[in-house]
Amino acid sequence: MVLERGELAGWAEKIHAAGRTIAFTNGCFDLIHRGHLTSLLTAADAADQLVVAINSDDSVRALKGDGRPVIGQEDRALLIAALRPVSAVTIFAEPTPLECILRLRPDVLVKGSEYREEDIVGAREVLSWGGRILRVPMVQGLSTSQIIRAIRNLP
């Protein structure tokens, strides 16, 4: 399911009121690969529900440059929402997903191990309400940028 920003807090309140936990992660998720799936599966195992915030098209362009994203935000949101481990998806346009995190109040904040805990947006807030941070090891040799370069080099 794809949730609008205004739906996040109410959805999360219902989950928490039922005694269930929420994990949260975010990213561009432009071209889905095994590294993404590994991260999402690990994140989903950390809580009862997994919410994924994806960067808007403008946000991806600002982070990755012209020519990105390859897949538009609505399509990326639907693709991620269709994955079995994902409970809900939302799109954010800000430079960071902090507003989403504050609305959801996740129990587990999940990011790749390339980030130090003190550099993870929202880590301080999640820890302040008793949540935890989970850093997922990266799958070596896989990235969307590498896939795009390989496609561009096809004859």
Q: What is the pTM of this model?
A: 0.89
For residue 32, give the CATH number of its domain. Answer: 3.40.50.620
Residue 3 token pair? 């949730």
Per the CB < 8 A criterion, the answer to whether 33 and 144 are in contact is yes
Structural domain containing residue 136: 5-150
Inside any domain, residue 76: yes
Phi and psi at 27, nearest 5°, equal 170, 180
Inside any domain, residue 87: yes
Residues with Cβ < 8 Å from 144, sequence gap 6 or more?
28, 30, 31, 33, 70
Inside any domain, residue 155: no
- Total count of domains within the chain: 1
Q: What is the pLDDT along the chain (155 residues), one digit of tens a residue?
A: 999 989 999 999 999 999 999 999 999 898 888 888 999 999 999 999 999 999 999 999 988 888 889 899 999 999 999 999 999 999 999 999 999 999 999 999 999 888 888 899 999 999 999 999 999 987 766 666 666 666 677 67
DSSP H helices in 2-155: 8-17, 34-45, 57-64, 73-81, 98-104, 123-128, 144-152
